[in-house]
Amino acid sequence: MANSWGIPKNIEDLVLERDQRCVYCGCEFGAERAKKKSWEHIINDIRITTLDNIALCCVGCNASKGSKELTNWFYSENARKRGITSETIADVVKVALDQRQESPLN
Ligand SMILES: [Zn+2]
């Protein structure tokens, strides 16, 4: 799964090693379409290619989140239907959510 997002190779390698499950719903990646791995920018800004913003999530979550802002999506009905809670999300997502909530500009 080559990425076409301009993600630096070292970041790509670290994320591939770190994210063994979907960072949102926690599912194990698989061959089935909705469970395939996909590259995710936690904050929807493709210029941010840091370890904090690049993650792997399943195609199902990626499609559900789309271009929605992380916090809005996390608390949405769509995320709830997917079974996404503070228990299923990876640490990298928890940190991003905390940061969003502390910033009044977002
Ligand atoms: Zn998922």
pLDDT of the residue at 64: 97
Distance in Å, CA 6 to ligand 1 centroid: 23
pLDDT of the residue at 106: 47
Distance in Å, CA 90 to ligand 1 centroid: 11
The overall average pLDDT reported for the chain is 92
The CA-atom distances, in angstroms, between 92 and each of 12, 31, 32, 33 are 15, 24, 25, 24
Distance in Å, CA 92 to ligand 1 centroid: 14
For the entire predicted model, the pTM comes to 0.90
For the chain, residues with pLDDT lower than 70 are: 1-4, 101-106
Domains of the chain, by residue range, sit at: 16-99
Distance in Å, CA 57 to ligand 1 centroid: 5
Sequence-separated (6 or more) residues with CB below 8 Å from residue 89: 23, 24, 26, 74, 97
